[in-house]
Amino acid sequence: MSDTQVSTQESKRLEQIATECRADILEMLEKSKSGHPGGSLSVIDIIVTLFFHEMKMDPKNPYWEDRDRFILSKGHGVPALYAVLAKKGVIPREDLWTLRKTNSRLQGHPDRVMMPVVEASTGSLGQGLSIAQGIAMGLKLQKNSARVFCVIGDGESQEGQIWETAMSAPKFKLNNLVVFLDNNNGQIDGHVEEVMDLRPIADKWRSFRWAVQEINGHSIPEILDALEGAKNETERPTMIVARTVKGKGVSFMENNIGWHGVAPNKEQLEKALQELKGVQV
The pLDDT value recorded for residue 6 is 56
Specify the CATH number for the domain of residue 81.
3.40.50.970
Does the model's pTM come out above 0.85? yes
The answer to whether position 211 is within a domain reads yes
Bond prior to 221 in cis (omega within 30° of 0): no
Q: Please give the Cα distance from 258 to 280 (Å, whole number).
A: 24
The pLDDT value recorded for residue 206 is 98
SS3 257: helix
The pLDDT value recorded for residue 7 is 83
Contacts of 280 (CB under 8 A, 6+ apart): none
The pLDDT value recorded for residue 278 is 84
The answer to whether position 19 is within a domain reads yes
- The values of phi and psi at residue 164, to 5°, are -65, -40
- The values of phi and psi at residue 63, to 5°, are -105, 15
Counting Cβ atoms within 10 Å, is residue 255 exposed (0-12), middle (13-18) or buried (19+)? middle
CB-CB contact of 196 with 158 (8 Å): yes
Counting Cβ atoms within 10 Å, is residue 141 exposed (0-12), middle (13-18) or buried (19+)? exposed
The answer to whether position 257 is within a domain reads yes
Q: CA distances (Å), 18 to each of 51, 184, 194, 249, in order?
A: 11, 17, 30, 10
DSSP letter assigned to residue 142: T
Low-confidence ranges of the chain (pLDDT < 50): 1-2, 279-281
- Residue-range definition of the domain harbouring residue 7: 3-276
Q: How far is CA 51 from the centre of its chain?
A: 10
Q: CA torsion, points 164, 167, 169, 170, in degrees to nearest 10?
A: 180
The answer to whether position 81 is within a domain reads yes
Where would I find the H helices in 149-262?
Answer: 160-171, 192-195, 201-207, 220-231
The answer to whether position 90 is within a domain reads yes
Question: Could you tell me which of 78, 88, 10 has the C-alpha nearest to residue 43?
Answer: 78
Neighbouring CB atoms inside 10 A of 179's CB total 28
Q: Please give the Cα distance from 42 to 34 (Å, whole number).
A: 17
DSSP letter assigned to residue 219: -
The pLDDT value recorded for residue 280 is 40
How many domains does the structure of the chain reveal? 1
Question: Could you tell me which of 2, 58, 53, 23 has the C-alpha nearest to residue 223?
Answer: 53
The answer to whether position 106 is within a domain reads yes
Q: Please give the Cα distance from 4 to 7 (Å, whole number).
A: 5
The answer to whether position 281 is within a domain reads no
